[in-house]
Amino acid sequence: MTYSRLIAGTMTWGIWGKQLNKTQMIDLMNHCLDLGISTFDHADIYGAYTTEADFGKAFAESNISRDRIQLISKCGIQYMSENRNNTVKHYDYSKAYIIWSAENSLKLLKTDYLDLLLLHRPSPLMQADEINEAVENLKKRGLIKQFGVSNFTRSQMELVATETPISVNQIEFSLTHHSAIHDGTLDYLMAQNVLPMSWSPLGTVFKEDTEQTRRIHRQLGELTEKYNATEDQLLLAWILRHPSHIHPVIGTTTISRVSDAIKALDITLELEDWFKILVASQGHKVP
């Protein structure tokens, strides 16, 4: 299965963000496709369980052929909202719930299948055999093509993989959240031929004013002219340079920023520049 190198994250398309209307969603879908961004990342909980439905209504009227896009969704988080009768936030990875949740996402997204279904976050009560029964049911019925996880550690992946092959792990990874480089996560994914996707790929660089982010801005500022690139493009290029072939999930809904982001694919950071950027984040030289 091939996913676009940059993935469009939909978390802020609905009421958790820009509250795009149907026309705006269609325009954004088409703009992404024009740039080669064909994969759209969802989760059932986005918009307190409303964003998949909003996207689905737009997709149904977009005249975009289903085979031109890849749809990802996640399940498992039982979120407290007016749309669910939950008394506490928790996780449900029972066979019945995984199947129901995937079927519900398909209904809301107005599609017959998901290209990828992810378990959204690990649960201390998850059981590998029950997860496998649900995944096998969905695959045999053609409702999902691939299965993966999100935010899972190596040991949690190993538990699930005793019963079910994992194709993808979507993790938080950025210049300001790069523990996956050091704790063996990305090494393990490469060794197991599991594709990493990274959510929040710009990290906190533009969200926080700290000594770390100031160091990062200074270093990126020294490289923008050399690479004829913006700082956010360099942040994406830093992720794209990693040999695990990480696919960043970009969350912007601004058309101009999507156009800027795709240009990161044309940037190949030189070896020492990649390490200069890492050092700026860490605040010390590598060991």
Q: Which residues are catalytic?
A: 46
Q: Which two tokens stand for residue 19?
A: 């509250």
Q: Which amino acid, one-letter code, is at 151?
A: N
Q: Which two tokens stand for residue 94?
A: 């029972």
Return the ∠ at Cα 133 (arms to 131 and 134), rounded to 5°.
65
Question: How is 203-246 classified by DSSP, letter by letter?
Answer: TTTTT--SHHHHHHHHHHHHHHHHHT--HHHHHHHHHHTSTT--
Task: Give, for 145, the enclosing helix (H) or strand (E).
Answer: strand 144-150
Q: Which of 51, 49, 41 is nearest to 21 (CA)?
A: 51
Pairing of strands 77-78, 90-91: antiparallel
Partners of 48 in the β-ladder: none
Enumerate residues 6+ apart whose C-beta is below 8 A from 284: none
Q: Which two tokens stand for residue 151?
A: 């935010």
Q: Which two tokens stand for residue 25?
A: 């969603």
Enumerate residues 6+ apart whose C-beta is below 8 A from 186: 180, 196, 242, 244, 246
Distance CA 269, CA 259 (A): 20
Q: Which of 170, 168, 103 is nearest to 138 (CA)?
A: 103
